[in-house]
Structures are given as structure tokens and as C-alpha cells.
Amino acid sequence: MNISIIGTGYVGLVQGVVMADFGMNVICMDVDCSKISMLNKGKVPIYEPGLEELLNKNIATGRLHFTGNIIESIHNCDIIFIAVGTPSKEDGSADLKYILEVARQIGRNIKRRIVIVNKSTVPVGTGKLVRQTIQEELDARNAKIDFDVVSNPEFLREGRAVQDCLLPDRIVIGTESDRAAEMMKKVYDVLFINQTPFLFTNIETAEMIKYASNAFLAVKISFINEMALLAEKAGANIQEIARGMGMDGRISPKFLHAGPGYGGSCFPKDTRAIADIARNHGEQLMIVEAAINANEKQKQKMVEKITSELSKKKKLSETAIAVWGLSFKPETDDVRDAPSIDIIRGLIKEGIKIQAYCPKGIPEAKWRLEDVQHAVTYFDSEYSVAEGADALVLITEWAVFRGVNLKSIRELMRGNIFFDLRNVFRKNKEIKNIFEYHSVGGSD
């Protein structure tokens, strides 16, 4: 089967590489010519563990190709996966301009019946809009060509995207066409044989499953973060609270880790989008909106926590802070909506100078923080960043930070305050002998 993937971001690129590994003939298309050139040379433009090796393996087999020509990718396929971005507009709604431009190109160029699959995260009703857009272009051509539209949302976690594609929790397929359903079964035949759970439903339900899943996880994170704020004031221990809650099978321990707030390419964007979808349908998602507000509050609380303690020692304008971690989570270079960005901005606003290190997040952080570059200095290791700092703030829990020699870090620093916003070292019995230690959620 010949498959075209339009868009080579996290979703499209990983999906294309893995589908080639499943034995499909895959052509990945993107308008970014420099990216296509890099991919054709076997180089991956994003950091994703295991992806480059799998990419080169499937290029070598001849099953994986890359192009900047959308017409070529449309003509030579049985199924087209649309995996372009759906960024947030200022009002929080999803911007569908890239999706609809692809739909227009499909309508202008298809020659035979194909299946069009929305892989991007899109609002409820997008499948119908894509169908309408393609049909309008076909009518303008006076062309009578049947086509099917399918919703097949992705559930990839950055840093584990390859594994999530190879061993997914479930495959959701929304379609009203028996033919399209059978085609999708063939696409995922390897997973079907391995008894991966499949859910076949209508398009609108499939579209909403993705948003509902991410919104629920965001609510869970915001909930435990608010419990952490209360635990600090009440003298309770949030890690033990989370552990006790997680023992309840109805709750589970997943996503019950207090921290500085959620970020990344999905949770912030998708919670805002589903809240906007609800408003457009005359409903208000009060719990989701509360989670969004709580997440913003959490980041501000981290700024207040840090500045409150530091102001007891010296003037904030004379203070330098070392920051560990800029990406929104470990094992990714993605800094989109990362808590580090808002926290760093908040600290700089108070006059604090920032020394920053992240294993993979520095290149993106540099341009995202370009307007405050006068107050940020970037370093090349977890040790060098600590030199001369009055305090250390761990924002992203990369594994490399867990294995540091804390005594050596302290010797490099000017001060001795450590803000562990991920509670990585909370159970370390020696930590309080080395630092004035502050975690999230009380009872240090």
C-alpha cells in the first residue's frame, strides 16, 4: 500500500517512519525544503530517541521517501495522512488554515478514489469541513471522484513517540465508510495482529476523543498542583498524598506528580481549543477552564516561591539563578509553552539574572527568550551553569540531573539554595546537609 504523509513535524515524521517500518511504501511531504533536504540525507530535524535510526533503516529498504512536491505525494498514494500543524489563534481556537490548504490541494489534484485521514488534532466538525473543501474543488474541476475522510487522532508523547507508534494503547478510527475502515485495518495490520485495541466510531467522536483525553490529563495535573499548594500551607506531604490517591484503582498514580505546571505542544493548545469548541456549541467547560487558569497560577506561584526566599538573602537585582531544564519535559527539544519560559520571564521581571542549561532545549529557548536575552546566559553543562549562582532551580527532570554530584554543584555556587520544582531529590537524605532545599508540596 502506498501512503502519503503531508507534514513532517513530530506527528507526521514519526508516523511516516513507523508506517514504513510496518512495510508500507511511504512518501513524506513538507513545504520546508531545508527540512526535506535534511531528511533525504538521513538526518532528523527534531530530537526524538530512536527516530533517526529507524528513519535510516527504512530509507535503506526503499520504503521511505521525502519530497517537497505536494502534487507528487497526492498522485502516488492510496491513503493521504494530513499531519500539519493546528496552532492556537489568539482566542484559543485551533487555526485550520494549513489543514484546509491541504484539503484544497487534494481536491485539485486527486485522480482516483483515495482515503484522506486527519492525523492532526482538530476540532469536532473538521472532518466534514475537509470533505466539503475537497468536494468544492472537485466540483470546480467538474470531476466525479469518490473519496473517504477518516479521523485517526494521534496519542504520541514527545520523547516516547516512536515507542507509542510501535506499541500504542489504542487505535481510534472515525469513519462512516466500510471501505475506509478496511483500508485503515490494512494500514495498521501489524498492530491488529498484535491485538492492539481498536475503536471504530464516527468522525466527530474520534475527533473529540483526542481533545477529551488531553483535557482530562491536564485537569489531573492542575488538580495535584493545587493540592501541592495547599499541602505546603497545611504541613502535609504532596508525594504521600499522591501515592495514597494513586492506590485507588479508580484514580491511578499516573499524572499525579506535582510540579511547576504543564506545557508542550498538546496540553496548553488542546485545552484552550476544546474550551473554545464548547463555547461555539453554547456550553462552558468549567472544569477545563479552571485547569487552564490553575496551570497559569502554578507557574506564577513558582516565581513567587523563588523570589520570596531569595529576597530574604539579598537584593533580587544582585541575584543570579542557575536553571536546570528548559524543554517542557525530558527527552525532547520542544520548548513550546514550557513552564521554564514563563518562570524565567517572571524571575527576570524581578531583576534576577538567569544562567540556563538544558541537554536539548537551548536552541529553541534562545529564540523564544530573545526579547530578554540580556538577562539570560546559556551554559554547556549541568556543572558549568551552577558556577557563581546564588540559587539553583530544577524545572525539567532530565535524567542527567539525577546523577550529578551535589556537593560539587554546591562548591561551584555562590549561594546554597536549591528549588527542586520536580521533587527529584526530595527523598535524598543528604540534600539538606548540602543545600537549603525547597521542593513542591510541603513537608521537606
Residues assigned a catalytic role: 266
CA distance 356 to 353: 10
344-380 burial, b for 16+ CB within 10 Å, e for fewer? bbbbbeeebbbbbbbbbbbebbeebbeeeeebbebbe
The neighbour count for residue 425, using CB atoms within 10 Å, is 21
Quick check: 438 and 305 in contact, CB under 8 A?
Answer: yes
CA distance 287 to 295: 12
The neighbour count for residue 429, using CB atoms within 10 Å, is 7
26 DSSP β-pair partners: 3, 64
393 DSSP β-pair partners: 323, 419
* Torsion 30-31-35-36 (CA) sign: positive
Largest CA distance in the chain: 78
* Torsion 318-323-327-332 (CA) sign: positive
Quick check: 61 and 54 in contact, CB under 8 A?
Answer: no
Distance, CA of 219 to chain centre: 16
Which three cell numbers mark 399?
A: 535524567
**Residue pointed to by grid coordinates 506499541:** 167
Which three cell numbers mark 383?
A: 556543572
**Residue pointed to by grid coordinates 468549567:** 286
Q: Which amino acid does the sequence have at 59?
A: I
**Phi, psi dihedrals of residue 307, rounded to the nearest 5°:** -70, -35
Please measure the distance between the N-terminal and C-terminal CA atoms of the chain and give it in whole angstroms: 57
Which three cell numbers mark 211?
A: 481533545
CA distance 416 to 273: 42
Which three cell numbers mark 314?
A: 539579598
The neighbour count for residue 87, using CB atoms within 10 Å, is 13
- One-letter-per-residue 3-state SS of 376-408: EEECCCCCHHHCCCCEEEECCCCHHHHCCCHHH
